[in-house]
Amino acid sequence: MAGTNGMDRSIIRYQPNIALIITVLLLLVFCLSCAAPETPTVKAGIAERVITPKAMLQMRGFARSQVASGTHDDLYVRSFVIEDTRKSAVAIVSISLCGIGRELAEEIREGICEKTGIPVNNILVTVTHTHAGPNIDKAGSEYQSFVVTESVASAVDAWTKRTFARIGTGSGKVMELGRNRRRLLYGGLHPDPEVGVITFEDTMGKLLGVVFNYGCHPSSLDWRNTLYSEDWPYYAIQGIKKKLGEEVVVAYLQGAQGNINVGYSAELSAVGVDMPVRSYEYIEHKGHQMATAVLETLPNIIKSSEITVDCAQDIFNYPLREKFPVSLKEAERDAYNAEQMLANLEDRTELDGTRILDRVRMEVFQTGQRLRTARKFYSEKVHGGTIELEQQAIRIGNTVFVGLPGEIFAEIGLRIKDESPFTKTYVIGLANGYGGYLPSEAEFIEGDYEVDGCKFSPKAEETCVNASLTLIKRVWEGQPE
């Protein structure tokens, strides 16, 4: 009996644990599946070059004539390229300037095409719209040529460095960076606080670059600032690089920012009112808000090495003003009355430093701007005409970027996003030249700075939205429902 019991115990002791074996096999299968890499089908590259002028040039923004006195932080041109296995390729170039004309943008696109083979229509050139950079239109041919050369070189660098990559897009929100400057008395909330983010990493998981897209003027530093700077995007980029590593290229793509800045009146800014928000200390805080939003978004982005890219481009006829809200005689009267009121109030010393004087000075600015626009409108006698503007839609996997031809109001950009079939739709403002302010139709009744100086008809909003959706639908073909 003892022997039998011993034999039974031996059998029990060495009986295989079926549950354990199954668990081990499942873990092995899982590990093998994880180890099997995706077959790369896309290549990407990202690069940057410094374009800070060596000379002290006239600056741009706020209609000023001040000449730069130095550099706070360097200005850059940053480019990224993506090529899929069909050899379809796109390039997006972001330049830290207030604006560039269509002629220079075309030079850059043609130069990139010549050196990389990427079709001109697949290349988008935009600016960040910093108001702390040089006025390239008045900078002279030497600096203009330098910007063109370095912009082309940055895209060529990105093309040369392109490698099999994993790309992902996602979005977050930043609620307190940009504000609707036309609605500050009503809270000034940004109509579209979304931050679009695109990331590039190689097939080993090394992060190569991060690009973020958001609509907000980099005009935080007022006309008194004479140092070259990228404005708040500088601090956002530095905050991201501090966390991710200095070798990671970080770029900013301007969005629909026509009525968005960090929280001050455009009219009060124009008359030189001193505001505490117009300082490097304040915009550092604003930049860190963006950096935090981008960094919080990154872990949630799903990346893939199996995507395709495509581009649609066309020229659209945008309607110009058919009428002006006041006659030339009325505009002259209003400007004269405002100037007389200011002259009377400036004689009253007790009003020095008061908001009463600020408001009247603002009225002088507004009526003066309205008069200048009225003179232009009535002298040209071109009413109800159109202007040709280019737009693009660039698809990167399940995401589309739409290039818009000027300073588009945030509400228009939001309409495009809402009506797009893509779940991830981002807009890029000031694309391929400068088309001026494009307010939403509802704002034409309100008037004021952006509207008074605008050349477009209120109907231009519909043109912009419809043109954008036309291009989006072209690159949507073949996308999953």
Residues 450 and 369: their CA atoms lie apart, in Å, by: 10
Q: Residue 41: its pLDDT value, please?
A: 85
Q: H-helix or E-strand containing 12?
A: helix 2-14
CA R_g for the chain: 27
Mean pLDDT of 7-33: 51
pLDDT in tens, 138-182: 999 999 999 999 999 999 999 999 999 999 999 999 998 999 999
Q: What is the pTM of this model?
A: 0.90
Mean pLDDT of 407-413: 98
- Tokens 């031809």 belong to which residue? 405
Mean pLDDT of 114-142: 97
Check whether 29 has a pLDDT greater than 90.
no
Q: Are 69 and 145 in contact (CB under 8 A)?
A: no
Q: Tokens standing for 175?
A: 């609620």
Q: Are 248 and 227 in contact (CB under 8 A)?
A: no
Q: Residue 382: its pLDDT value, please?
A: 60
Check whether 421 has a pLDDT greater than 90.
yes
Q: Residue 6: its pLDDT value, please?
A: 44
Q: Residue 291: its pLDDT value, please?
A: 98
Q: Residue 114: its pLDDT value, please?
A: 98
What is the percentage of the chain residues whose pLDDT exceeds 90?
83
Check whether 21 has a pLDDT greater than 90.
no
What type of residue is 65? Answer: S
Check whether 258 has a pLDDT greater than 50.
yes
Distances (CA, A) of 278 to 135, 183, 221, 282, 299: 20, 19, 5, 7, 33
Quote the mean pLDDT of the chain.
91
Q: Is residue 62 very low, low, confident or very high in pLDDT (cuts 50, 70, 90)? A: confident
Q: Is residue 459 very low, low, confident or very high in pLDDT (cuts 50, 70, 90)? A: very high
Q: Are 198 and 172 in contact (CB under 8 A)?
A: no
Q: Tokens standing for 403?
A: 């290039």
